[in-house]
Amino acid sequence: MDQHTNSKDLTPFLGYVVLNPVRARMVRRAQDWPWSSFRATAGMGAGPSFLTAEWILSQFGTDESEARARYRRFVSEGLKMKLSPLGEVEGQIVLGGSGFVERQRDRIQPKRGTKEHPRAQRQMARPSLRDLFEECSRKERAVLASRAKDAHVTHGYTLKAIADYLGIHYATAGRLVRAAMDQGNEERRGC
């Protein structure tokens, strides 16, 4: 595990991955899938020489037999989970707590200008609407318009997303963006 990974970020996947064949109805139980690491990790059989289960088991306790029992229970309870942990993925590529996601944003930021990555992945590095509109009074229309333009034009937020965040109609968000763009055009003509 590298320095950018947090064990809490990976824990939901410990059960989810080994249960994929069960959810796909290819087998009835996780231990029945011949290519899974579940049997070896759960202490139900030997694994290949390259498999190391120490880190996974360490997430469930320090005593090996107790950790294996907790792992088996954790996987069993995972069958009751209706939602995938992938539902919380940001920008199609990052799943984790807010600190982990922020560290990944910093790593992705230099790649924002390249068209080689899908837009959703490039935009993952963009600031949140909360950050863009931080300390922005709704009464200061010029500042609000400027921030809305920045959110829409620079960071790729849709007018609807901006409107939903501000609690206004999307047409009003569009007028704010247009006002800021018109203001920028007037300033350039005056130079």
Residue 1 lies in a domain: no
State the average pLDDT for the chain: 80
Does the structure show a pLDDT above 90 at 176?
A: yes
Residue 172 lies in a domain: yes
- For residue 88, give the nearest of 166, 16, 154 by alpha carbon: 16
pLDDT (tens digit, 9 = 90+) per residue, 112-152?
A: 566 676 666 666 667 788 888 987 777 788 899 999 999 99
Domain's final residue, options 86, 114, 134? 86
Give residues with Cβ within 8 angstroms of 173, minimum separation 6.
148, 152, 159, 160, 162, 163, 166
Please return the burial class of 56, using the count of CB atoms within 10 Å of its CB with bins 0-12, 13-18 and 19+: buried
Same domain, yes or no, for 120 and 151? no
Residue 90 phi, psi dihedral angles, 5° rounding: -105, 135
- For residue 148, give the nearest of 179, 121, 123 by alpha carbon: 179
Residue 155 phi, psi dihedral angles, 5° rounding: -105, -5
pTM over 0.85: no
Same domain, yes or no, for 114 and 166? no
Same domain, yes or no, for 79 and 102? no
The structure tokens listed for 4 are 């950018």
CA distance 147 to 177: 8
Same domain, yes or no, for 22 and 61? yes
What pLDDT is attached to residue 7? 56
Which position has the higher pLDDT, 172 or 7?
172
Does the structure show a pLDDT above 60 at 189?
A: no
Residue 191 lies in a domain: no
Same domain, yes or no, for 39 and 96? no
Same domain, yes or no, for 118 and 130? no
CA distance 156 to 122: 10
Coil, strand or helix: which one is 15? helix
CB 71 within 8 A of CB 14: yes
Same domain, yes or no, for 132 and 116? no
Same domain, yes or no, for 53 and 112? no
pLDDT (tens digit, 9 = 90+) per residue, 47-83?
A: 899 999 999 999 999 999 999 999 999 998 887 776 6
Q: What is the domain extent for residue 108?
A: 90-125
